[in-house]
Amino acid sequence: MKTNDMKALLALEDGRTFACRSFTGAGEAWGEVVFNTSMTGYQEVITDPSYRGQMVTMTYPLIGNYGVNYEDVESDRIQVSAFLIKEYQEYPSNFRATGTLKDYLKQGGILGVEGLDTRALTRHIRDKGAMRAYISTSNLNPSSLVEKAKGLPSMVGLDLARSVTTDKPYFWSEGKISPCSLKTGKSKSSVWREKNKKFHVVAFDFGIKYNILRCLENAGCEIIVVPASADAATVRAIEPDGIFLSNGPGDPEPVTYAVETIRALLEYKPIFGICLGHQLLGLALGGRTYKLKFGHRGANQPVKNLLTGKVEITSQNHGFVVDIESLSAEEIETTHINLNDNTLEGFRHRKLPLFAVQYHPEASPGPHDSRYLFNEFVRLMENA
C-alpha cells in the first residue's frame, strides 16, 4: 500500500463489491459506474460534462503518468463523481505537466481510488450492464453500501443537462470565454462582433466540451453559447447563420424543453448536433431513444461512413442512442453506423440542411478521423 492510501469499498446495486484504496484521502461517492477504453486522455475524460453523475473506471491499467495541465481541460471543473483505476502513478513525467492527478482530484473534491480490479469490473459491466454504485472509505460494510447503491436514482429519466449548462450566454473567442449581453429588443443581431467576416453560430450548451468550441472557431465560426433552456425566439433574435447542439449527460427524453425549441428551429437555419445534440435532434424529428446496455466510451470505436464507405475510428461517450428504426426513411438518411453493434451513429435530413453524429468529431481525447464534419457544417451555412 502506498503512503497515505486508505481502504475503500465499491458496491454495485446487484450486490457485487470490489475492494480498493483511495489515493485522494477519505470520502464517499456515488453514481452510475461505467468504463472508458481510452489509453490516454484521462484529464479530458474527467472534465467532460457528459460524465456528470457517473463514476468512471479506466481499462488502461496505469493512470497519472503524465500528470495534468490547465490546457487540456474540457470544462471548468472535474465532472466525474469518482475516478476508478488499477494503478496510480505518483510521479508524473511530462514537460507539459503542471501538477499531479492526485492533487487535481483533491482540489476538485473528487474521490480517486486505485488497487481496483478494473478488468473484473469492466467484464461485469459488459455482462450485466452499467449500473448504480456507491463507494466509501468510512463505511466498508458490503450490504450497507449495496443498499445505498439501490437507493440512487436511475440514469433513465434524469435530465442532467440542467446541472452542467451555462447560466448565461457567452462568447467563445481565441480559446477564451467572454461576456455576451443579449439586450432586450426586437433584434439582437448587433451583438455579433465580426459581421461579414465569420459565420455566426449559436451553440446550445447541454454540457459542451471546450474542444468542440475550438474546432468550430478553427472552422471559421464566431460563436455565442446559450443555456440549454434558451428558446427559439431568443435564437431567432440573435440571427445566427447556423445552430449547434452540443454533447451532454443523462437521458435525452426528459429534456423536453430543448426538443421543443429544436423542433421550432428545424426549418430556420442549418443545424449540426453531436452526442446528446444528436439524440435531441432525433427526438425533435419524431424519433425515439433508448439506453444501451453499457454504452460506448473510448477513443477506439469503429464507425462506418455510409456516404463514403470509409471506416472512421472515433471517440465516443454516451449511454443512450437514437432508435434507427424510429426515424422516417423518407425524410432521414442514415449516414453512419457503429460496426460493433450496428447502432445509429449519424444521420442527415434529405431536404433540410441539418445533420448530426452520435460520436465526438472534436476527439479530445481521441483520433482526428472525423474533424471534417465541422467543415461540413460550414459548407451547409455557405449554401444556405
User: So which residues are the catalytic ones?
Assistant: 275, 360, 362
Distance CA 249, CA 155 (A): 9
Distance CA 121, CA 34 (A): 9
**Cis bond upstream, residue 365 (ω within 30):** yes
Q: Interhelix angle for 276-284 vs 256-265, to 10°? A: 70
Alpha carbon 38 to chain centroid, angstroms: 14
On whether the CB atoms of residues 23 and 5 are closer than 8 A, the answer is yes
Q: What is the three-class DSSP state of 188? A: coil
Beta-strand pair 6-12/17-22: antiparallel
Q: What is the three-class DSSP state of 52? A: coil
Residues 6 or more apart whose CB falls under 8 angstroms from that of 33 comprise: 10, 12, 54, 55, 57, 84, 121, 125, 130, 131, 132, 133
For residue 55, count other CB atoms closer than 10 A to its CB: 25
With the C-alpha atoms ordered 174, 175, 176, 180, is the resulting torsion angle positive or negative? positive
Cell, residue 258 = 430543448
Beta-strand pair 111-114/17-22: antiparallel
